[in-house]
A and B are shown apart, each in its own frame.
Chain A
Amino acid sequence: MELLERFASGDLDAFETLFRQYQGLVYAWTVRMVRDRGAAEDLTVETFWRIYRAHARFEPVRDFGAWARRVATNAALDYLKTARREVELPANLASDPAPDAVQQQEVGAAVRRAFGELPATLRATATLALIEERPYAEIAEALGISVGGVKTRVFRAVRQLRKKLQSMGVEP
């Protein structure tokens, strides 16, 4: 029996093989979405837990990697919706920075704060599209929406980010 068929029938050895084969892919995708290594490791395990529970619904003709990325995206979105939004500050502030550098740091902090205040779905889509520069088709597949839907979310994210920055007195 093929590996995916054995997994679909609930074979734990087959699941372990798939886990070892795809844990890196799921982690890499998740860490790009949540930007926290510890959380990404926990979410990778959570993703495979969801995959294991849903083994009976998996069709062996499907692409396991694409399915795993979709489950990982949902797990990461759940995390982003509930996780405390922390304001990231520059880790290595210079002792006596030049005026331009200070202004740049302030703008950077404002951008991070404004971006962190966006709804989780917009933030995740914009993170993958604009920061990580992943292909729109890949993002669409992972989010379970069309490429047009991804473009709409990115557009809305940029528009909301601009509004938030303007309300903070930052003119991008």
Chain B
Amino acid sequence: MSEPNDKKLEELLRSAIPPVKHAELERDLWPAMLRRLEPRPIRVSWWDWALAAGAAAWFLVFPEAIPLLLYQL
């Protein structure tokens, strides 16, 4: 691959994708940063709650399944 061909391709690239002209930040991002720093509550989906409730019900009806489950773990 010759160097002049590389230069031509690089010029083609720059004409197709010009450099960013205005890279200045137009607003203060500190408020967004503060929102990000706030602790987020852990969200548990309804499906997880349903699964936990189902498992609890199952172990209430069939308590002998608990050792089996522990053995599998």
Contacts and interface: CB of A to CB of B under 8 A. Distances in A.
Interface stretch (B7-15, B44-52, B58-66): B7-15
Interface stretch (A1-9, A17-25, A65-73, A140-148): A17-25
Contacts of B9: 158, 161-162, 165, 172
Interface in B9-24: 9-10, 12-20, 23-24
A172 B12 contact: yes
Interface string B33-56: 100110000000000000000000
B1 A115 contact: no
B14 A131 contact: yes
Contacts of A100: none
B33 A48 contact: yes
Nearest to A20: B30
A41 B29 contact: yes
Interface of B: 1, 5-6, 8-10, 12-20, 23-25, 27-30, 32-33, 36-37
- Interface-centre pick from B10, B13, B15, B29 (highest chain A CB count, 10 A): B13
Interface of A: 12, 16, 19-20, 23-24, 27-28, 31-32, 35, 41, 44-46, 48-49, 52, 88, 107-109, 111-112, 115, 126-127, 130-133, 158-159, 161-162, 165, 172
Main secondary structure of the interface of A (DSSP, over half): helix
Nearest to A49: B36
B8 A172 contact: yes
A23 B14 CA distance: 27
Contacts of A19: 29-30, 33
A72 to B, nearest CB: 13
A127 B33 CA distance: 27
A158 B5 CA distance: 10
Contact of B20 (A32, A41, A162, A172): A32
B12 to A, nearest CB: 5
Contact of B1 (A12, A107, A159): A159
Contacts of B28: 20, 23
Given A24-B24, A31-B20, A111-B13, A158 B6 contact: yes
Nearest to A48: B33
A118 to B, nearest CB: 11
B13 A132 contact: no
